Amino acid sequence: MSLAPLTLKATIRNYVWGGRALQALAGPGAADDAPIAEVWAVYEHNQIASGPFAGKTLAELLEEHGDEILGAKGNRRFPLLIKLLDCARWLSLQVHPDDGLALKLEGPGFMGKTEAWYILEAEAKAELIAGIKENTSAEALAEAIRGGEKILELVEYHNVDKGDTVFMPARTIHALGPGLLVYEVQQTSDLTYRVFDWNRPMTGGRELHIDKSLAVSDPQARGQIRRAGQAGSSLITCAYFHLEHLTAPVVRDTRGESFHALTVIGGQAQLQTEHGAQTLKQFDSVIIPAGLEKYELQGDFQVLCSSVGS
């Protein structure tokens, strides 16, 4: 019999910009007053939560069952990192390298970071930064990066609403603003170069990475926004991942090509496989191994599905 669906223990990150919307995912023993900024829901170093592999990390399980989990498109590492972000304040203005620049600047074993956001909730007039204004020269951008707040004169602000999707290629200067709850899928990399941190006095330890930001920032790189309501369940397909929005009825087959990482973003779903049924509630995530192939989702739900790109 194939591997059963894999549920992971989430990793919690408490940063200064976090809020309270994800508090229920913190688990017992968490500090009640600590804002939760990020929940790393699907991550190679998360532990398996239950079943015969409970306590092992996903990375350890891949050493034994890599082909069955990752599928024909897989490599040795789990290729994606999936987070939930609760943005109560502006995140730092930042940029990520691509694969080539990550190798050059950080060395072997480091990957770039192309990512995508799905807006789960957005307060009125919530906004984000997704690139630099058109016709900005490399020289002007470099001067602004060195100039602290001056960079804010060159960035592009965008209002976003619930259900919008934003594709953020590597080398794009960006930031999420307050009032946003976000699903994020990205390459398995948390390599971040901080350009500007809003002069926050309480975060004096948050280092800026000016030289590396200068090396990787592309003035032509911009985020691409897909507005809610556009037809089709496929949201983004790139070299690193495929992101889909699913509603009932769902009858799927991985065809052995790639795992499917499912996250419930609304309602409740009943997952049915050859191993039986399990209930998935809001913000639960589960990995369907590529070798499991067929599965169904029933109920009144919205699910985001991330898999390996084309």
Do the Cβ atoms of 142 and 219 come closer than 8 Å? no
* pTM: predicted TM-score of the whole model, two decimal places: 0.95
Q: How far apart (Å, rounded) are the C-alpha atoms in residues 49 and 43?
A: 13
Token readout for 21 is: 């919307």
Cα 155–Cα 107–Cα 236 angle in degrees, nearest 5: 45
| Superfamily grouping for domain 11-226 | Jelly Rolls (2.60.120.10)
- Listed by start position, the domains of the chain span 11-226, 234-307
Do 11-226 and 234-307 show the same overall fold? yes
Tens digit of each residue's pLDDT, the chain (310 residues): 689 999 999 999 999 899 999 988 876 555 566 889 999 999 999 999 999 999 999 999 999 999 999 998 877 899 999 999 999 999 999 999 999 999 999 999 999 999 999 999 999 999 999 999 999 999 999 999 999 999 999 999 999 999 999 999 999 999 999 999 999 999 999 999 999 999 887 655 578 999 999 999 999 999 999 999 887 799 999 999 999 999 999 999 999 999 999 999 999 999 999 999 999 999 999 999 999 999 999 999 999 999 996 5
| 194 in catalytic set | yes
Q: Tell whether domain 234-307 is in CATH 1.10.1240.10.
A: no
Helices (H), 6-120: 58-70, 99-106
Please identify which of the residues 20, 194, 200, 226 carries the catalytic annotation.
194
